[in-house]
């Protein structure tokens, strides 16, 4: 049943003012402080809670203020206390909003690794102008992508024109539903251990859940071919970092391009800052022109759906925890 003619209240718990697109829907917006020392006034109620991925301070209090639907700014909900939700409360996330910039980030790192960037850049006269340089490519390289959600599928779209051998590891052994030429050539499997030995590049784009915790561990890395390039744009919890350190030291992993680590931020002096085979960035792969707008747009779209009584998108499965 449509709610367009009802007065719906959104509790904005994101920490920044609601954009005009939210107000344009006709809802009432109440800005709720994220200051731990400033609980919401007792009279504040609303059926929609818009918050960050960890739920933020006062979450339990706010969930008891008539909230029926919660939407988080980000895609991953591994930090959200799912058990705090009532049986009649639905949680959605910004699933797919960051797929394009993250996919571009992955392609950039794969190309940099294959072409030897930035190592081939000159800072002084070389001993030989060309013959001492080793440059590879992505054509014919095997890229194993873990995760077939909004990020994984966008990575596939952008790598298909490069002529890579693409393998996607997903929970269900079903083909990818993409309208991209060449997608039929993409192998799909549920067994990462069976294909990791083929990988030149291993890209992690899966959610952080109990099932994926330390998915990349010493046993898995022992099956990898020497010189593996590991790219993590998912969550740091997917990688056993001490096992990774050992594999980097031996050369089993030739390069690790990490946009997510554990913990975040890393403490000063952590070995990941200085290891010569690590390229570390501060969880910025999702950024790009319009990145924030795209994240907000997922909430605005769902808000229209809520007001019109249509099914929401990006609904989190609390059993699978993503």
* pLDDT classification of 267: cutoffs 50, 70, 90: very high
How does DSSP classify residue 264? S
* pLDDT classification of 132: cutoffs 50, 70, 90: confident
- Give the model confidence (pLDDT) of 243-265 as tens digits: 999 999 999 999 999 999 999 99
Q: What pTM, to 2 d.p., does this model score?
A: 0.94
What gap in Å lies between CA 75 and CA 92, rounded to an integer? 9
- Each domain of the chain, given as residue ranges in start order, spans 9-96+290-308, 99-280
The average confidence (pLDDT) of the chain is 95
Q: For 146-155, 171-180, 211-220, 308-317, which range has the lowest pLDDT when averaged over its residues?
A: 171-180
Residue 42, Cβ density class (10 Å: 0-12 exposed, 13-18 middle, ≥19 buried) = exposed
Q: Answer yes or no: same fold for 9-96+290-308 and 99-280.
A: yes
Q: For 40-49, 121-130, 250-259, 297-306, which range has the lowest pLDDT when averaged over its residues?
A: 121-130
- What is the topology classification, in CATH, of domain 9-96+290-308? Rossmann fold (3.40.50)
Residue 92 forms beta bridges with which residues? 71, 315
What gap in Å lies between CA 11 and CA 143, rounded to an integer? 43
What gap in Å lies between CA 257 and CA 272, rounded to an integer? 11
* pLDDT classification of 1: cutoffs 50, 70, 90: very low
84 or 5, greater pLDDT:
84
Q: What is the pLDDT of residue 72?
A: 98
What gap in Å lies between CA 258 and CA 109, rounded to an integer? 10
* pLDDT classification of 126: cutoffs 50, 70, 90: confident
Q: What is the pLDDT of residue 3?
A: 59
Element (H, E) at 104: helix 99-115
pLDDT beyond 90 at 289: yes
* pLDDT classification of 5: cutoffs 50, 70, 90: very low
Terminal-to-terminal C-alpha distance of the chain = 27
Residue from 102, 31, 80, 73 nearest 293 by CA? 73
CB 156 within 8 A of CB 180: yes
- Give the model confidence (pLDDT) of 20-42 as tens digits: 999 999 999 999 999 999 999 99
Q: What is the pLDDT of residue 4?
A: 54
- Does CATH number 3.40.50.720 belong to domain 99-280? yes
Percent of the chain beyond pLDDT 70? 98
Could you tell me where the DSSP H helices lie in 196-284? 218-222, 241-250
Residue 202 forms beta bridges with which residues? 144, 230
What gap in Å lies between CA 27 and CA 233, rounded to an integer? 35
Q: What is the pLDDT of residue 45?
A: 97
pLDDT beyond 90 at 310: yes
How does DSSP classify residue 239? B
Q: What is the pLDDT of residue 2?
A: 56
Q: What is the mean pLDDT of the segment spanning 285-308?
A: 95
């Amino acid at each position: 049943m449509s709610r367009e003619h009802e007065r719906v209240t959104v509790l904005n718990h994101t920490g920044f003012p609601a954009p005009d697109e939210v107000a344009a829907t006709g809802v009432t917006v109440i800005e709720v402080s994220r200051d731990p020392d400033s609980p919401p006034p007792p009279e504040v109620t609303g059926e929609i809670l818009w918050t960050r991925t960890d739920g933020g301070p006062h979450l339990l209090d706010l969930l008891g203020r008539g909230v029926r639907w919660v939407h988080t700014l980000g895609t991953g909900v591994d930090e959200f206390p799912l058990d705090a939700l009532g049986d009649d409360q639905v949680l959605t996330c910004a699933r797919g909003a960051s797929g394009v910039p993250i996919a571009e980030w992955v392609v950039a790192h794969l190309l940099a690794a294959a072409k030897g960037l930035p190592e081939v850049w000159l800072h002084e006269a070389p001993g030989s102008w060309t013959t001492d340089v080793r440059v590879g490519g992505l054509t014919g390289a095997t890229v194993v992508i873990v995760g077939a959600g909004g990020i994984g599928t966008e990575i596939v779209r952008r790598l298909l024109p490069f002529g890579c051998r693409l393998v996607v590891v997903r929970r269900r052994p079903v083909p990818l539903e993409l309208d991209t030429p060449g997608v039929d050539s993409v192998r799909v499997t549920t067994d990462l251990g069976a294909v990791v030995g083929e990988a030149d590049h291993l890209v992690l784009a899966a959610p952080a859940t109990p099932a994926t915790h330390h998915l990349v561990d010493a046993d898995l890395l022992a099956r990898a071919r020497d010189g593996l390039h590991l790219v993590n744009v998912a969550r740091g919890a997917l990688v056993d970092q001490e096992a990774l350190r050992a594999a980097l030291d031996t050369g089993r992993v030739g390069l690790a391009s990490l946009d997510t680590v554990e913990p975040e931020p890393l403490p000063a002096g952590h070995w990941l800052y200085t290891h010569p085979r690590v390229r570390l960035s501060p969880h910025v792969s999702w950024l790009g022109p319009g990145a924030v707008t795209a994240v907000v747009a997922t909430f605005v779209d769902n808000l229209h759906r809520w007001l019109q009584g249509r099914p929401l998108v990006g609904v989190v499965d609390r059993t699978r925890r993503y």
